[in-house]
Structure 1
Amino acid sequence: MTVPQITLNDGHTIPQLGFGVFQIDPPETERIVTDALEIGYRHIDTAAAYGNEEGVGRALAASGIPRDQLFVTTKLWNAEQGAETTRPALERSLAKLGLDHVDLYLIHWPRPDLDRYVATWRVFEQLQGEGLTRSIGVSNFHRPHLQRLVDETGAVPAVNQIELHPAFAQHELRAFGEGLGIRTEAWGPLGQGKYDLFGDPAIVRAAQAHGVTPAQVVIRWHLQQGVILFPKSVSRERMAANFDVFGFELTDAETAAIDGLDRGLRVGADPDTATF
């Protein structure tokens, strides 16, 4: 099964479908990531704040998969933003992952109240130049945050990882970022179980029409819009199903029906006001 590769604005590529480890217990991480790698996932998304980088690293090392066939993302936690603290934070993440570089390093949240993300971004550029990360990007950035980075540094992030699912489609933010050459990544692409997405008639009808699960329909909806995503599951069976989404295609009518579910329903924190 071949996962499409998305070309980023720095020329590097990223597998469009990956595996996320948000809220996976650290003691279980190695086993679960091993399952994901055995199924065929090659793109793993973690973060310092998840507390499970060590488990990810052990699974990667034990897999025997060549490093150049893997794509690993981690993220800088908010408290570590700053000119003096960013580099040590990445070095700690690399040590935990057992890697000499990551493929993508992200500022996890903008934390505009701290006003450190521009200074942090300048260090990100240095880290990329030194080969400690191949690509650099941001997460949870709104339009003013993105615009300020570009205006003050002249550098455009490769990706912006944002909350994105059918009830919160973020069309305006995606269009703004993509107009700058920033690719969109979706976190919480299946709604995190916080509303009845899989019971919606538009999703159910599409699933029945193609003989697939509602989750597979939603993943396919993201893929057909060019969004990069990494659904999470601790069940090997669901991991496999989430990866088996390249044998069908939603029709224009099915896509439009799912597009119509957007109602601005944010289920996570608001980046403008989040202070954790």
Structure 2
Amino acid sequence: MTFRSETSAVPSIVLNDGQVIPKLGFGVFEVTPDQAVDAVATALEVGYRSIDTASVYGNETEVGQALRASGLPRDQLYITTKLWNADQGYDATLRAFDASMERLGLDYLDLYLIHWPIASANLYVDTFRAMQSLKAAGRITSIGVSNFTRAHLERVIAETGETPVVNQIELHPRLTQPELRAFHAEHGIATEAWSPLGRGAVLDDATIAAVAEEVGRTPAQVVLRWHIQLGNVTIPRSVTPSRIAENFAIFDFELTNDQVARISALEKGSRVGPDPETFTAGAPA
């Protein structure tokens, strides 16, 4: 079940469980089911091997169709999905995982994430324990979380005895999350950035435009390269074939330390998504 990183142009990082994850993946948030097959097929043709979906996205079935149609060997693919909020709790997690796997048409999953902590429901520790049991049964290779704060992470680690391999969080030049990234580094948790381009909001920034001109690249490529050089895993999404290819072409140039610092200085603490401390949509009744 180990991802064979040597089969992809994308460099990988080693997770705290010894598995590896590609630094660049293809996200399908807000990709509709009728768009998903073609978008994932295009991404795989371009060279992506990591695909990130979630049960709440409503496109797991179509992602699975595209994976099978690609003809790529399973061990050359890295597939992530996420448990939705309404499915938290030990037994509910086991049922939700089975449903996701049926939709994806997979025998095992590379990475399973708790989508949001939903601390008010007080179920995320039991949810993680269910994921541990699925991992022990060989059905999941790695287990992690998404949108967890330091306090959520500390509780999971203390009460389950296992450190999540990944925390997938909103992260872009206007929300750089230095304190949380530092905590991740101290505990061997990979930082994975969702909305890496700030849903496009950062692409018109004058600093990013200037750096893009300096290196002869597009603003999107510059921001994604910034993520890579910070050590983040990142999962941009698009349904436009040219942009899918553009976002992949970030491994044949580098930013200088000064350029990285100039982009990092755009930090404003500005979110484009919900705040994990207060978000409760889809919480168990």
Pick the TM interval, shorter chain. Answer: over 0.9
State how far apart, in whole Å, the 1-side matches of 2:44 and 2:92 are: 32
1:265 corresponds, among 267, 270, 282, to 270
Cα displacement (A) at 1:91: 0.7
State how far apart, in whole Å, the 1-side matches of 2:132 and 2:170 are: 25
State how far apart, in whole Å, the 1-side matches of 2:88 and 2:136 are: 19
Cα displacement (A) at 1:243: 0.2
Aligned partner of residue 84 in structure 1, secondary structure = helix
Deviations 1:84-139 (A, max 9, x none): 11011111101100101110000000000100000111111110111111000000
Q: Is the 8 A contact 1:162 1:187 kept in 2?
A: yes
Identify the residue that residue 4 of structure 2 maps to in structure 1.
none
Q: Which runs of 5+ in 1 are unaligned?
A: none
State how far apart, in whole Å, the 2-side matches of 1:29 and 1:150 are: 35
Q: Is the 8 A contact 2:9 2:47 kept in 1?
A: no
Q: Which amino acid aligns with 1:237?
A: S
Residues 164-179 of structure 1 correspond to what in structure 2 (within 5 A)?
A: 164-179=171-186
Residues 134-145 of structure 1 correspond to what in structure 2 (within 5 A)?
A: 134-145=141-152
Residues 223-242 of structure 1 correspond to what in structure 2 (within 5 A)?
A: 223-242=228-247
Question: Which range moves more in the overlay, 23-32 or 51-60?
Answer: 23-32
Q: Is the 8 A contact 2:84 2:115 kept in 1?
A: yes
RMSD value, Cα:
0.8
Q: Which runs of 5+ in 2 are unaligned?
A: 1-7
Question: Which range moves more in the overlay, 12-21 or 203-212?
Answer: 203-212
Residues 117-196 of structure 1 correspond to what in structure 2 (within 5 A)?
A: 117-193=124-200, 195=201
State how far apart, in whole Å, the 2-side matches of 1:83 and 1:242 are: 38
Cα displacement (A) at 1:72: 0.1
Identify the residue that residue 12 of structure 1 maps to in structure 2.
19
State how far apart, in whole Å, the 2-side matches of 1:84 and 1:245 are: 42
Q: Which amino acid aligns with 2:112?
A: Y
1:205 corresponds, among 206, 210, 221, to 210
Aligned partner of residue 169 in structure 1, secondary structure = coil
Identify the residue that residue 255 of structure 1 maps to in structure 2.
260
Q: Which amino acid aligns with 1:179?
A: E
Q: Is the 8 A contact 1:167 1:262 kept in 2?
A: yes
**Hey, which bits of structure 1, 4+ residues long, moved more than 2 A?**
none
State how far apart, in whole Å, the 2-side matches of 1:106 and 1:153 are: 15
Aligned partner of residue 69 in structure 2, secondary structure = helix
Cα displacement (A) at 1:201: 2.0
Aligned partner of residue 85 in structure 1, secondary structure = helix
State how far apart, in whole Å, the 2-side matches of 1:199 and 1:110 are: 32
1:244 corresponds, among 227, 249, 258, to 249
Cα displacement (A) at 1:210: 1.3
Structure-2-length-normalised TM-score: 0.95
| % identical equivalent positions | 55
Identify the residue that residue 222 of structure 1 maps to in structure 2.
227
Structure-1-length-normalised TM-score: 0.98
Cα displacement (A) at 1:175: 0.7
2:50 corresponds, among 21, 43, 51, to 43
Q: Is the 8 A contact 1:140 1:271 kept in 2?
A: yes
Q: Is the 8 A contact 1:202 1:254 kept in 2?
A: no
Deviations 1:19-70 (A, max 9, x none): 0000001111111110110111000000000000000000000100000000
State how far apart, in whole Å, the 2-side matches of 1:256 and 1:229 are: 19
Aligned partner of residue 36 in structure 2, secondary structure = helix
State how far apart, in whole Å, the 2-side matches of 1:239 and 1:207 are: 18
Cα displacement (A) at 1:83: 1.3
State how far apart, in whole Å, the 2-side matches of 1:206 and 1:249 are: 11
